[in-house]
Amino acid sequence: FVLSQLNRAPGEEVPTLDRLRDSSQIRNDGDLIFLLYLKKPNASEDSEDFGVRTLRIAKNKRGPLYHKNLKFDGPRQLFYPAGDKAPRLLFRLPTLEQMGFVNEMR
């Protein structure tokens, strides 16, 4: 798992793999690369695009490329589909036992 910043040219709305900062090794060796960015960074607060992020699968060696517009709920630190009115749980979180932490804590 690796994180990298993006170098973005002025006026460029959609980042590409070439914009990964100092990381040609990530582009070459990565099996799955996600890009997360603001859809319209200069959108006004009344716009429906305000605060909408796009999650894009830019490289996937074993499957299709894909993109999804998301909104971010800051207080809960949660991304959710942009079409939804409020955040919702997209999948059930594993329990501590399923993650293997309970035995280590005893």
Q: Quick one: average pLDDT of 48-54? A: 82
| C-alpha span between 4 and 32 (Å, rounded) | 13
Q: Which are the contacts of 65, defined by CB distance < 8 A and separation ≥ 6?
A: 56, 57, 58, 59
Quote the mean pLDDT of the chain: 79
Higher pLDDT, 69 or 90: 69
Please provide residue 32's backbone torsions phi and psi, each rounded to the nearest 5 degrees: -140, 120
The per-residue pLDDT for 91 is: 65
Higher pLDDT, 69 or 13: 69
The model's pTM is: 0.67
The per-residue pLDDT for 50 is: 79
